[in-house]
Amino acid sequence: MARIALDTLGDDDRRRIDYLTAMRRLWSTEVFGRLRDEFDTLAAREGAPTTLEEAGELVERCPSYAWFGFLERGAQVLKWRVVNDVVARNWETLGEDLRPPHLARAELDPELELPGWYRDHDIHCQPGGVWGAAPSALVYEIGTQVLHIGRNRGLELHRRFTATFPGETYRRIVDMGSGFGKSTRPFKERYAEADVIGIEFSGPCVRLAATRADDDGLEITFRQGDAAATGLPDGTVDVVTGTMVLHEMPPDVLRATFAEAARILTPGGIVRFLEFSRTGDLFRDAVMEDHAWRQNEPFMPGLMEFDVVRELSAVGLAGARWVPFDERTGELLPEGFPERAEWHLPWAVLEAHKPALAASTTPPAPAEGAA
C-alpha cells in the first residue's frame, strides 16, 4: 500500500482537507449541474452554439458561471494555503519523508537550468510551483489528493491507466514529467523486470519520488532533467509515457518532446500519454477552456488545438490518435466520451507507435478496449 503524506496528518488537518474535498465535490456536482441547466435553457431559447467560441459566450451569460468560476479558483487557492500551512506545521515529521532512498535512485542535477515557460508561473496555482523549496513536493503530493475527487486515492487512477498497456513485458519504460512518482510506480509494479525511469524537472519532486518508490520496494530511477532532452541513447526504450504532462508544455516544447520520444523509442515501441482532449460537447469544452486559466494552466488550450496526429507523424510515429479514458473504471472508450452529469476532466489517452520497420506502418497489438 503506497503511503502518502496525507496519511500522517492529525485529525484537525485531515478535517480541513475533508472540507476542501467536500467543497470541490459540491462544486463539481450541484453548481456544475445548475450551470448546465442554465446553459441548456439558454441554448434552447436562443439556438444551440455551433462553435467553441459561441459556446464560451453562452456559458459566460449563465448566471451561475461567476459563482462556478469563483468556487473553482477560490477552492484551489484556499487548498494551497491550507496545505502549505499543514506542511509547514508538520514539517519536522513530514520532512523525514525526504530521506535518501536506498533501493530507488534520485539523480539530481544541480546545474539544470529550468526554462522560463516552466518557472515563470505557478502551475495549478501552487505558490512557488513544485520546483522551489524542499517542501513543495510534499505540498504538491497532498494537494493532488484534494484536486482530483473521485476514485483517485493514492495510485488508483495511475494503476488503472497502467493496466491498459498492451504489452506483457517491456525492457525499458520512460515516464516523462514523473512528478513525485505517482504515475511511475504503477509501471514498476506491473512490469517488475523493466528498467523504469522517471524524468522530472523538479528536484524536490525527484527526491520525494525516489523515497516513495523506496517505501514500496520499487527500484526506479528518477532523474532530474528535461523530457525533451533525456540523454538516453537512441532506440533503447519500449514505452514512452507521461501523465498530465503534455498540457503543461508550450507548442515548441511539445514538438521537441515528441521528437525525443521518437528518438529514444525502439522500433515497435509505443507512446502513450494520459492527458485531456476536447470532447465534442461544446458546453464541456468551453468550461474546460476557462478551467485552464482558472487553474494557471496557460498551455492547456494549446494542447487542445494542437494537431497531434500531424505532429507525431512528422517525427516518425504512426497511428496517432486520442482515445477517451474513463478514469473511474480504467476503460478505454474509442466510441467517444460518455455523458456524465458531474464536472470531470476530459481524460484521454494519446497513443502512437514507432513503426517496427522503416517501410511498415503495421501497428503493435491494439490496446485493451480499443477498437
* Contact residues for other proteins, defined by CB under 8 A: 11-12, 15-16, 18-20, 22-23, 25-26, 30-31, 34, 37-38, 41-42, 45, 63-64, 66-67, 69-70, 73-75, 77-78, 81-82, 84, 87-88, 91, 122, 127-128, 132-133, 135-136, 139, 294
CB of 143 to other proteins, least distance (A): 12
Phi, psi of 268 (to 5 degrees): 90, -10
Contact status, residue 280 vs residue 336, Cβ threshold 8 Å: yes
User: Which candidate, 109, 136, 141, 138, places its Cα nearest to that of 122?
Assistant: 136
Q: Strand runs (DSSP E) across the chain, as ranges?
A: 105-107, 172-176, 195-200, 221-224, 237-243, 265-276, 318-326, 331-332, 347-353
CB of 24 to other proteins, least distance (A): 10
Task: Please give the C-alpha separations between residue 290 and each of 60, 298, 350, in angstroms, as whole numbers.
Answer: 10, 10, 22
Q: Which is nearer to other proteins, 129 or 198 (CB)?
A: 129
CB of 76 to other proteins, least distance (A): 11
Give strand pairing partners of 179.
none
Q: Which is nearer to other proteins, 81 or 153 (CB)?
A: 81
Euclidean distance between CA atoms 272 and 251, whole angstroms? 18
CB of 17 to other proteins, least distance (A): 10
Q: Which is nearer to other proteins, 70 or 371 (CB)?
A: 70
CB of 88 to other proteins, least distance (A): 5
Quick count: other Cβ atoms within 10 Å of Cβ 365?
A: 10
CB of 285 to other proteins, least distance (A): 20
Q: Which is nearer to other proteins, 18 or 57 (CB)?
A: 18
Euclidean distance between CA atoms 42 and 55, whole angstroms? 11
CB half-sphere exposure, 82, CA atoms < 13 A: 22
CB of 293 to other proteins, least distance (A): 8
CB of 139 to other proteins, least distance (A): 7
In the three-class reduction of DSSP (H, G, I as helix; E, B as strand; rest coil), residue 322 is classed as strand
Q: Which is nearer to other proteins, 80 or 191 (CB)?
A: 80
Q: Which is nearer to other proteins, 128 or 235 (CB)?
A: 128
CB of 365 to other proteins, least distance (A): 45
Give strand pairing partners of 346.
none
Give strand pairing partners of 98.
none
Q: Which is nearer to other proteins, 82 or 274 (CB)?
A: 82
Phi, psi of 350 (to 5 degrees): -95, 120
Q: Which is nearer to other proteins, 76 or 162 (CB)?
A: 76
Phi, psi of 230 (to 5 degrees): -75, -25
Q: Which is nearer to other proteins, 41 or 51 (CB)?
A: 41
User: Which candidate, 141, 221, 218, 108, places its Cα nearest to that of 174?
Assistant: 221
Cβ neighbours of residue 3 closer than 8 Å, sequence gap 6 or more:
212, 215
User: Which candidate, 267, 270, 250, places its Cα nearest to that of 365?
Assistant: 270
